[in-house]
Amino acid sequence: MQDVNRPWLFERLKCSLQLLACPPQIQLEKFPEFVHRPDELALDFDNFRMACAGKFRAELTGEQLSCLDSVDQSFSQMPADCFSPNAVTNSREWQQIRQLAAEALKAFGWPLDEPPRRDHEFVAP
């Protein structure tokens, strides 16, 4: 059985929330041009939310879990046309995601900072 790298998982969850809380121009600039950026924003959050809440649920407060669930539910209720760069920039749905992500950061005691780029994690087609 493989050990779980708890600090790395929580760091990545923090970075995904920080990016979701950023202004839209920063959100879209953090990914290489060849990826579908709105999808990557949602998938990155979902991946690390599921890993942290799945493996470390007992360590999370009710407020933290509620905040993560709120972001997740907002994504799951978004219509398909919200997954476009224009929607990231202009839609009320993405504005709500930014607000919920900021609330989640606060619940974890994490700063509302701009996360680093991770271009090296993507392979061009």
pTM of the model: 0.93
pLDDT at 118: 78
CA atoms within 13 A on the CB side of 72: 13
Q: Rounded distance, CA 122 to CA 104, Å?
A: 26
The two most distant CA atoms of the chain are separated, in Å, by 45
Residue among 91, 110, 108, 106 nearest 41 (CA): 91
Q: Where are the domains of the chain?
A: 8-111
DSSP three-state, residue 84: coil
Q: Rounded distance, CA 122 to CA 26, Å?
A: 18
- Mean pLDDT per segment of 10 residues, for the chain of length 125 residues? 81 97 95 90 97 96 98 97 97 98 98 86 73
CA distances from 43 to 1, 39, 62, 109 (A): 25, 6, 23, 23
